[in-house]
C-alpha cells in the first residue's frame, strides 16, 4: 500500500483539479471523496492537501474564498479556473499515456 500511496501522491494536483471540476469544494470534503472513492485505502494528510492547494493557487489553477464559518473555524473553499481546467486536461492526458505505457511494460505474456 505504501508504494501505491506514493504513486498516487505524485498525482495529488491532478486529483484535486479533477475533483474541483465537479464544483467548488474545501479541504475535508475533497479528502472525504478521495477516501470514499478509494474505499478507504487512500487519503491525503491535511498538510499535503494544504501544500497542493497553495501550489495550485500560485500557478493560477485554482482560486480560493472564505466560506461561512463552520463549526469552530472558517472554511476555505476552492474553485477551478480556466487555466486549471486546461492543466487538468493536460494532466489527464499525461496520466492516460502513463497508464498505457505502464500496462504495456508490465504485461506478462502467457
Partner 1 sequence: MRDKLIQYVQLLFAGAPDSEDMKQEILQNTLDRYDDLIAEGRSPETAYRMAIKGIGDVNDILSGTSQGRPCPETPIKTKDDGDTPTKKALRVIAIALYILCPIPLILLSEMGMEVVGLCCLLVIVAVATALIMMGAKKESEENTYSDSRPVGPREELQKSINTVIWVVGVAAYLLISFRTHAWYITWLIFPLIGAVQGLIRAILDLKEEKNHEA
Which residues lie near partner 1 (CB under 8 A)?
A: 26-29, 31-32, 43, 45-51, 54-55, 58, 70-76
Between 23 and 70, CB nearer to partner 1: 70
Contact present, 47 and 12 (Cβ < 8 Å): no
Contact present, 79 and 24 (Cβ < 8 Å): yes
Which residue, 25, 65, 62, 30, is CA-closest to 44?
30
Between 54 and 99, CB nearer to partner 1: 54
Buried-exposed string 45-54: b where 16+ CB fall within 10 A, e elsewhere = eeeebeebbe
CB of 29 to partner 1, least distance (A): 8
Between 27 and 84, CB nearer to partner 1: 27
CB of 107 to partner 1, least distance (A): 31
Amino acid at each position: 500500500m505504501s508504494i501505491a500511496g506514493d504513486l498516487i501522491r505524485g498525482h495529488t494536483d491532478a486529483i484535486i483539479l479533477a475533483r474541483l471540476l465537479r464544483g467548488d469544494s474545501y479541504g475535508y470534503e475533497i479528502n472525504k471523496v478521495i477516501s470514499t472513492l478509494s474505499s478507504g485505502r487512500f487519503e491525503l494528510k491535511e498538510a499535503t492537501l494544504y501544500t497542493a492547494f497553495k501550489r495550485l493557487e500560485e500557478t493560477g489553477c485554482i482560486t480560493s474564498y472564505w466560506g461561512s464559518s463552520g463549526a469552530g473555524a472558517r472554511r476555505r473553499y476552492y474553485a477551478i479556473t480556466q487555466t486549471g481546467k486546461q492543466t487538468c486536461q493536460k494532466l489527464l492526458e499525461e496520466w492516460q499515456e502513463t497508464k498505457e505505457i505502464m500496462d504495456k511494460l508490465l504485461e506478462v505474456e502467457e
